[in-house]
Amino acid sequence: MSASSLPPPSAPGERPDSVLSYPKFLWSMWRLAFTGSFAYYAGMTALTAVALVGLNAWAHQLADGMVRTHMTDHVSWGLYIANFTFTVGLAAGAVMMVIPAYLYDDEEMHDVVIVGELLAVAAIVVCVGFIAVDMGRPDRMWHVIPGIGRLNWPVSMLSWDVVVLNGYLLLNLHICGYLVYMKYLRRRPNKRFYLPFVFLSIGWAISIHSVTAFLYAGLGGRPFWNSALLAPRFIVSAFITGPAFVILLLHVIRRFAPAFRVADGPIELLARVLRITILVNLFMFGSEAFTELYSGGAHHVSARYLFLGLHGKHALVPWIWTGVALNLTSAILVHLPQSRTNRTVLMAACVAAFGGVWIEKGMGLIIPGFVPSTLHEVVEYTPSLTEWKISAGIFAAGLMVLVVLLKMALPVFTGRISVARSSMTSLPPAAPSSASLLPPSSRGDVS
Amino acid sequence: MDKAKRRTLKVLGSTLGAAAFAYAIEPLRAWASDMSLGELLQKHYRELTPDEMRAVLARLEADAEAKYGREVTIEDIRPTPGVELGYALNLSVCIGCRKCAEACHVENNHDRTTNNSYIRVLEMEQGSFDLEKGTTTYDHAVPSPGKYYLPVQCQQCDNAPCVKVCPVQATWKESDGIVVVDYNWCIGCRYCEAACPYHARRFNWSKPEIPAEEINPNQSYLSNRVRPQGVVEKCTFCLHRTRKGLLPACLEACPTGARVFGNLLDPNSEIRWVLAHKRVYVLKEELGTRPRFFYYFDN
């Protein structure tokens, strides 16, 4: 945290009893999660409804088997793993905000880093959800626990994924939890208790998406994935989805939590990151498409199927060209001068980038890896209604986690809730938003 | 809004929410009723003591009878030291009749509705090894002019990608070279299915359906017992037969004698003769999987 945004250290006499203050803190957080405006209740009810629809579909899937999905022995991973892959990128990308804040010591970024880390927590929850619903036997989840189960570490890349994802979740929970609790106590956080973890989480963010890429890139029998460029592409696209989502989120926060100071600097910095990564991603995408399509041969039939269709089958063709169109649109929008002055243009660019990467990392990557199959049979896949319901349910649950986490953390960060003032009836009037959105501020320049 | 009204709304809301939750998870009752605590907490195959194994086998036999209405015997048959099993297939002789696939289906208690089998037979263009030009869905008299036939099943790779990727060690290679799956340990992630270059693994997308009278009652833990829903399975060279000195069901069913099976460590075995005297090749050698399933041509 920046020194400027911190309250002065409390006098020794006021220091609250830490044994009692932690339960008090948890109780305050609990109350914050369940108290809000009509819009908050309406939104959470809607998300709960979607999550319950997903839960119901999952219950049916568990009872009847994965036959409720449209996956087959030919295309054995589908929408769930596609969404998982995408969301790992979101989780990694969210922490990218930490890099300018801590590595380059950008003061304004410090204030919004917590938003990125909470997003990472919610995204990992979504990842774990997608893994859980993709398992044929979730009742045997304990088999991955080292000691009780038999985690195949370090040989299986999936076991690496289990380790890095859970580690990442714990890391971010610790950092966020510690900072919020210290804010709540009105104490200055001890750097020793969080700064090492912040730096660790930066490296860890890279690792979660690299390991996820190696999950696919390490399979010799799937030439479409067996590319050394896969991990770099994953990292670059994480640097798109993370900033794009955080920009959108900061706009929402400005609207619904005006007391929380969101300066223009961080938004402009994230937009600047987007301007670069969108182009790098397009370049890498083009390089891979060129290698696959130009050289031809049996190893490149998946790419042909993806972009052009194969043997009269082309279920993925509309997907990938939509993805390409979205990526190009976002690249153009984010480079228009208006993206610096016009909120709508920047938001549209973020939405397009987010959608483009979702298709490219999802249906555009996972499914063509299986088509044609290893014996070169072309069996197509389109997700079933059950798969869409469950996926929507998991995203809804993830959004709920994110909203609740923000609902808890932001009032603490704005000083409206603290150990001395945990009653919610005497809230001070909300401070006005710190500044108008744009024009850009020169602060937050990483160079 | 006053406090009392707010509280009433909250109570109403949470009641409705709890009811909706209970409704949503209702189908889980059927799922849970199919499971026992013993099954849930069962240890990995290789960690079971002989006593525990006896209890597990008894439970599995009772389960099979309760669920499928057939009395079966499930054995735990271990590999014989000094034996490494290998398979060879004569492509000059195979006519693509798919009797092997059919025999596999029956022998290994495959689901009747999906007509599953561990063997897929590709009809290939004469003069080409390009799998791209093959098809498994041919539906005409065989052999067809200008074609040859390539049956593919688990290659029991020495460097098996499926074993490497399993996150919970639910699949491994036994000392006689057979790659097996502990159906009671597999978590159903299907990473092995993605990793296998030979499309040799199958997932139980639903509970297999087999009429009681069609069930093969001679079963073993690691091979042909009826698999649970939600786990991966594969060809085991019919280890419940071959570890007792019998031949695989697919070989016995082959009308042309295209298939040769035996102990690779026995210099006098037929398979050793084939490997020594025929032009032999393996599928997708470039992947370094080192199959112990060999293809050869006459002359």
Query: Is A104 contained in some domain?
Result: yes
Q: What's the average model confidence in pLDDT over B263-273? A: 97
A122 to chain B nearest CA, in Å?
A: 21
Query: Is A164 contained in some domain?
Result: yes
Residue of chain B whose Cα is closest to the Cα of A134: B189
Q: What is the pLDDT of residue A29?
A: 93
CA distance B107 to B224: 7
To the nearest whole percent, how much of chain A has pLDDT over 70?
Answer: 90
Q: What is the pLDDT of residue A117?
A: 92
Query: Is A443 contained in some domain?
Result: no
B35 touches chain A (CB under 8 A): yes
Query: Is A212 contained in some domain?
Result: yes
Query: Is A447 contained in some domain?
Result: no
Q: What is the pLDDT of residue B51?
A: 97
CB contact under 8 A, A375 and B134: yes
Query: Smallest Cα–Cα separation from A116: which of A417, A409, A400?
Result: A409
Q: What's the average model confidence in pLDDT over A91-111? A: 83
Q: pLDDT of A359-388, one tens digit each?
A: 999 999 999 999 999 999 999 999 999 999
Which chain A residues have a beta carbon less than 8 Å from that of B35? 139
Query: Is A309 contained in some domain?
Result: yes
CB contact under 8 A, A56 and B24: yes
CB contact under 8 A, A375 and B136: yes
Two tokens, residue A73: 């022995």
Q: pLDDT of A331-367, one tens digit each?
A: 999 999 999 999 999 999 999 999 999 999 999 999 9
Per-position DSSP letters for A317-343, written without gaps between them: HHHHHHHHHHHHHHHHHHHSTHHHH-H
CB contact under 8 A, A151 and B167: yes
> What CATH number did the domain enclosing A307 receive?
1.20.1630.10
To the nearest whole percent, how much of chain B has pLDDT over 90?
Answer: 90
- Between A428 and A193, residue with greater pLDDT: A193
Query: Smallest Cα–Cα separation from B70: which of B187, B257, B182, B209?
Result: B209
Q: Which of B26, B168, B228 sits opposite A144 (nearest CB)?
A: B168
B101 to chain A nearest CA, in Å?
A: 16
**pLDDT for A447 beyond 70:** no
Which chain A residues have a beta carbon less than 8 Å from that of B168? 140, 143-144, 149-152, 159
CB contact under 8 A, B169 and A150: yes
Domain that holds residue A363: 3-421+431-436
Q: How far is CA A214 from CA A204, A211, A233, in A?
A: 15, 5, 12
Q: Are B103 and B253 in contact (CB under 8 A)?
A: yes
Query: Is A201 contained in some domain?
Result: yes
To the nearest whole percent, how much of chain A has pLDDT over 90?
Answer: 74
Q: What is the pLDDT of residue A15?
A: 54
Q: pLDDT of A82-92, one tens digit each?
A: 999 999 999 99
B212 touches chain A (CB under 8 A): no
**pLDDT for B201 beyond 80:** yes
CB contact under 8 A, B195 and A221: yes
Q: Which of A141, A143, A219 sits opposite B194 (nearest CB)?
A: A219
Give this prediction's pTM. 0.92
Burial of A176 (0-12, 13-18, 19+ CB in 10 A): buried
CB contact under 8 A, A137 and B186: yes
Q: What is the pLDDT of residue A329?
A: 98
Count of domains for chain A: 1
Query: Is A93 contained in some domain?
Result: yes
Which chain A residues have a beta carbon less than 8 Å from that of B204? 65, 136
Confidence of residue B1 (pLDDT cuts 50, 70, 90): low
> A272-281, A292-301, B263-272 — which is least confidently predicted?
A292-301
- Which residues are within 8 A (CB) of B15 and not within 5 positions of it... i.e. 6 or more apart? none
Q: pLDDT of B54-103, one tens digit each?
A: 999 999 999 999 999 999 999 999 999 999 999 999 999 999 999 999 99
> A91-100, A211-220, A234-243 — which is least confidently predicted?
A91-100
Q: Which of B26, B164, B168 sits opposite A59 (nearest CB)?
A: B26
